[in-house]
Amino acid sequence: MSRLRRPLATAGLAATLVLGSAGAALACPPDPRSDPTTWEYGGVYDCSRTTVRHGQRTYTKPSAVAFVVIRTGSTYFVSDLGDANEGDRTYTFDKPIRLVITCLFTDA
């Protein structure tokens, strides 16, 4: 009887781990707005994610950048295209910045 318990217990533990990890992955699908390719609009822009300091609440968009997408908390801010080529623009937020996606114009 003890020979049977150990394989059953091992199989039960393995099944629990597999289901638990699959459940966690299904519970929180990645937000497509965090993916730079979401903002490229079929090749019109070339976008990339930028790393920011921990706790940073301001971001300066260089004038050469078409627009930026800034996530603070669960909110996404998208700068105006009209800001492009008018000099650097600094944006300030109440919450720390979690990610910045910068988008450049392409020749498309």
* 100 pLDDT higher than 50: yes
- pLDDT computed for residue 27 by the predictor: 75
3-state secondary structure of 85: coil
- pLDDT computed for residue 83 by the predictor: 57
Q: Quote the pTM value.
A: 0.69
Who wins on pLDDT, 86 or 34? 34
Q: Is 69 exposed, middle or buried (0-12, 13-18, 19+ CB in 10 A)?
A: buried
- pLDDT computed for residue 1 by the predictor: 47
Strands 89-92 and 58-61: antiparallel
Average pLDDT over residues 24-44: 84
Average pLDDT over residues 72-79: 93
Who wins on pLDDT, 41 or 26? 41
Six-digit token string for 24: 């966690």
pLDDT tens for residues 51-72?
888 999 999 998 888 899 999 9
- pLDDT computed for residue 65 by the predictor: 87
